[in-house]
Amino acid sequence: MPKLDESLLTGLPPFSRLDRQQIREILNQATSRRYEEGAEIFREGHDAERFFLLLDGYLRVIRTTPGGDQIIVLHISPGQLFGIAPALQRTTYPATAVAAAESIALSWPVRLWHPFITTYEGFATESYKTLGRRLGEIQTTLTEMATQAVEQRVAAVLLRMVNQSGQKTGEGIAIGFPVTRNNISEMTGTTLHTVSRLLSAWEKDGIVRSTRKRIVVTDPHRLVMIGEPRG
């Protein structure tokens, strides 16, 4: 494998307080791997043997309900740690990670977690900040499913994906990774039929444009209005 350059990690929050020699030490212990869209990186309940850093692409994090349904609870962007089961004091992964687009990730054996958090300044602090944000996002998703109407939930997840990965185009703001109507149904706890009906109606109203794996928000303000909680 070609030698990884220190610039890959320089400036990323978990490593931002480290000098180049320390980053070199971390990279020398890393494994780099490319994942095709749809590839499973690890599975919920399996032994947590490695922890990861996403360099490029986007990931979906999926939880399985007691009834066997799959829910997409969040997405992970480049520059973020994931699969950090040791931070939760777990020996197994709490969710499944799947590449939402072609992705590249670094990983390290889980035995290095404790040396990393004790040796490298800022690594532990940023790791636990990341964990806290994600737990908050998951709680928001679950609260929306329990309290909001379907159209509010669908609008909210589209807006989250736009805020996370949006790319300006001539049509509006495109979600920066492939997303299907089935993906949206798994994010909102609703049926594929309902998601298709909503997106078709919003497309007629000029709020979104969608194809098989691409969604563009053409009128973000109106989508925000749809997603607002109603008293």
Here the tokens at position 49 are 């043997």
> Residue 89 CB: number of other CB atoms within 10 A?
6
Pairing of strands 59-64, 96-99: antiparallel
Q: Residue 189 has what pLDDT?
A: 87
Q: Residue 1 has what pLDDT?
A: 52
- What are residue 76's DSSP bridge partners? 59
Pairing of strands 40-42, 70-76: unpaired
Find where tokens 């850093």 sit. 53
Residues 6+ apart with CB under 8 A from 214: 174, 175, 178, 179
CB 104 within 8 A of CB 34: yes
| Residue-by-residue pLDDT tens, the chain, 231 positions | 567 889 989 889 999 999 999 999 999 999 999 999 999 999 999 999 999 999 999 999 999 888 888 889 899 999 999 999 999 999 999 999 999 999 999 999 999 999 999 999 999 998 899 889 888 888 888 888 788 899 999 999 999 999 989 999 999 999 999 999 999 999 998 999 999 999 999 999 999 999 888 999 999 999 999 988 765
Q: Residue 231 has what pLDDT?
A: 53
The domains found in the chain, sorted by start residue, are 7-144 (2.60.120.10), 148-227 (2.60.120.10)
Q: Residue 230 has what pLDDT?
A: 64
The H helix count followed by the E strand count for the chain is: 7, 12
> Residue 48 CB: number of other CB atoms within 10 A?
19
Evaluate the CA torsion angle 82, 88, 91, 93 in order and state its sign. Answer: negative
Query: For the chain, where are the E strands, in sequence order?
Result: 31-35, 40-42, 50-56, 59-64, 70-76, 81-82, 96-99, 103-109, 167-168, 173-174, 208-210, 215-217
Q: Residue 143 has what pLDDT?
A: 83
Q: Residue 55 has what pLDDT?
A: 95
> Residue 217 CB: number of other CB atoms within 10 A?
25
